[in-house]
């Protein structure tokens, strides 16, 4: 009888262990889901929810929710609402006689930075209705942070069921977003809840140990590789072809792509034109429409304000009308990045893009480098004063005005300009550092210290200002405070110049 009791005890132990592992696995699954909702690609959990097939989706039945985002250091707020399907869209009825346009996209299509009635799908509907009222319905399926792969999954999960008459596909930015180690991209993600907690835990352990690595071309660095992005765009076309739904790709370049400049983000938009060629699908290229704007249209490198959304909608409406007349035949494709002609004044190009995208840093930097090379100090100051007057709410003109005045040895003027830059972009690390350096150069190190401390208090997670703060504290012989900031630097993994470390070590030894 003892063996029966031992067997029963063993069975209970196995069941208990399995229960513990299953419970641990479920806790891990919930942690993964929570971590997903605060990922770098998803900033507003009040508008989003975990989705087992799409990673995340918009919450349904939201009404006038306020969101904010810092574009170029200037925070912009807007309100948005969602329908029962979680779309930034009025309620959808069953498919009727209306010509239904389904727009797949990311935050640019969702309308980051603009209100519900200002998104480009809403404007597109208005333009289409001008000639034939009541004949069209435009469905905005854009979701902030979405990649083309999520767009494909949405199409499989919900989009095809909407029975669209045409599908517009607008991606090409989030796919190039960097991802942290161990490099789990969109294509690698699997719904943790699709399996038991034990299997999820075991899978995570195997992946963590590197036992199932199949990547033969190095570590993944972006959410989708260029090849994956291209394949996904073509897969969307193939899926829609199976339902006899025409697909139109929309190429939406960011500002650096428009003039062929390097930018700290992969240039994926050109792959959209490649997908159109390979899939024999029409392409609507927004380059010319955006470059022809005469007023500011960009909020940052890729998002548009209400005027920009209207320009995009007008261009898409005109192109869509022509494509419908041609029965969506593959059209001749325009260049995405116009070649710069030798006789074009580079400074003039940069001035134009500053007008179009006042918050984009790259064009100010390029223009100031040209002006500095020309060594026209007065002209440099006059230009930045003019641009600052044209864009009084933007920090960058004042920042570069400070540089120009400093080059003329006008420290008081430079300090005033830098202060205005800090007021307009308080969380931008470059602005307070420039102000602090000008104050220190003027012989006011304690004022410089106050500026740096205020900036760090506003944004304590940024480490860049601390080494200079240590230097200034040593200059005023406040070694105790310098030591405290050095401790913070070490905790954050921020290196100090060797000369500062030696100075602090000598001070500590003297004591």
pLDDT-based confidence at residue 327 (cuts at 50, 70, 90): confident
Residues 6+ apart with CB under 8 A from 307: 293, 295, 296, 297
- Residue 487's alpha-carbon distances to 320, 432, 480, 500, 501, in angstroms, are 60, 22, 11, 13, 11
pLDDT the model gives residue 189:
73
Q: Is the pLDDT of residue 198 over 60?
A: no
Q: Is the pLDDT of residue 17 over 60?
A: no
pLDDT at 39 exceeding the cut of 90: no
459 near 491, Cβ under 8 Å? no
pLDDT(19) > 90: no
Domains assigned to the chain: 37-178+222-325 (3.40.50.1110), 359-455 (1.25.40.10), 463-511 (no CATH)
239 or 32: whose pLDDT is higher?
A: 239
Between CA 262 and CA 255 the distance in angstroms is: 10
Percent of the chain with pLDDT over 70: 81
Q: What's 51-79 look like in SS3?
A: ECCCEEEECCCCCCEEEEEEECCEEEEEE
Q: pLDDT tens, 371-420?
A: 888 888 998 999 999 999 999 999 999 999 999 999 999 999 999 999 99
- C-beta atoms surrounding 243 within 10 Å: 11
- Are 406 and 438 in contact by the 8 Å Cβ rule? The answer is yes
Half-sphere exposure of 185 (CA within 13 A, CB side): 20
pTM of the model: 0.76
Query: Phi first, then psi: what are they for 283, rounded to 5°?
Result: -125, 135
Which of 269-273, 366-370, 450-454 bottoms out in mean pLDDT, i.e. has the lowest?
Answer: 366-370
Check residue 28 and give its pLDDT.
57
Phi, psi dihedral angles at 41 (to 5 degrees): -95, 0
Both tokens assigned to 179: 């991802």
Tell me what pLDDT residue 182 has.
63
pLDDT at 221 over 90: no
Q: Is a pLDDT exceeding 80 seen at residue 67?
A: yes
For the purposes of burial, counting CB atoms within 10 Å of the CB of 391, is it exposed (0-12), middle (13-18) or buried (19 or more)? middle
Q: Count, in order, helices (H) and strands (E) of the chain.
A: 20, 9
Query: What mean pLDDT is reported for the chain?
Result: 84
pLDDT at res. 359: 82
Q: Does residue 275 contact residue 284 with C-beta atoms inside 8 Å? A: no
Determine how many CB atoms are found less than 10 A away from the CB of residue 153: 19
């Amino acid at each position: 009888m003892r063996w029966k009791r031992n067997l029963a005890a063993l069975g209970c132990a196995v069941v208990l262990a399995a229960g513990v592992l299953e419970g641990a696995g479920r806790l891990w699954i919930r942690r993964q889901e929570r971590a997903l909702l605060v990922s770098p690609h998803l900033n507003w959990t009040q508008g989003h929810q975990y989705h087992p097939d799409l990673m995340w989706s918009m919450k349904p039945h939201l009404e006038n929710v306020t969101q904010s985002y810092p574009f170029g250091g200037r925070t912009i707020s807007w309100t948005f609402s969602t329908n029962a399907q979680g779309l930034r869209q009025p309620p959808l009825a069953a498919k009727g006689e209306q010509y239904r346009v389904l727009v797949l996209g990311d935050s640019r299509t969702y309308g980051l930075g603009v209100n519900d009635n200002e998104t480009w799908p809403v404007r597109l509907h208005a333009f289409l209705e001008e000639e034939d009222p009541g004949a069209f319905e435009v469905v905005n399926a854009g979701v902030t942070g979405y990649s083309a792969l999520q767009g494909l999954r949405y199409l499989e999960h919900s989009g095809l069921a909407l029975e669209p008459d045409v599908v517009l596909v607008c991606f090409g930015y989030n796919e190039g977003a960097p991802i942290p180690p161990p490099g789990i991209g969109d294509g690698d993600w699997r719904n943790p809840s699709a399996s038991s907690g034990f299997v999820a835990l075991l899978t995570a352990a195997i992946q963590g140990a590197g036992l199932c690595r199949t990547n033969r071309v190095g570590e993944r660095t972006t959410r989708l590789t260029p090849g994956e992005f291209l394949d996904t765009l073509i897969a969307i076309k193939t899926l829609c072809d199976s339902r006899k739904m025409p697909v139109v790709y929309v190429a939406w370049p960011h500002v650096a792509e428009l003039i062929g400049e390097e930018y700290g983000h992969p240039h994926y938009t050109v792959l959209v034109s490649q997908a159109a060629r390979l899939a024999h699908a029409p392409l609507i290229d927004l380059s010319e429409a955006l470059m022809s704007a005469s007023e500011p249209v960009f909020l940052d490198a890729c998002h548009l304000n209400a005027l920009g959304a209207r320009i995009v909608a007008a261009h898409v409406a005109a192109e869509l009308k022509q494509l419908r007349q041609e029965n969506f035949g593959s059209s001749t494709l325009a260049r995405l990045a116009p070649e710069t002609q030798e006789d074009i004044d580079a400074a003039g190009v940069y001035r134009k893009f500053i007008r179009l995208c006042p918050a984009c840093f790259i064009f100010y930097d390029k223009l100031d480098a040209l002006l500095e090379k020309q060594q026209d100090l007065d002209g440099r100051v006059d230009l930045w004063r003019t641009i600052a007057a044209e864009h009084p709410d933007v920090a960058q003109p004042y920042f570069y005005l400070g540089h120009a005045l400093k080059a003329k040895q006008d420290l008081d003027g430079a300090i005033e300009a830098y202060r205005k830059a800090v007021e307009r972009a308080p969380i931008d690390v470059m602005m307070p550092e420039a102000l602090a350096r000008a104050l220190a150069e003027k012989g006011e190190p304690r004022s410089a210290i106050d500026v740096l401390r205020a900036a760090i208090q506003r944004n304590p997670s940024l480490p860049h200002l601390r080494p200079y703060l240590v230097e200034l504290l040593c200059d005023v012989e406040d070694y105790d405070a310098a030591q405290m900031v050095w401790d913070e630097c070490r905790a954050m993994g921020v290196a100090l110049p060797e000369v500062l470390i030696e100075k602090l070590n000598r001070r500590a030894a003297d004591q």
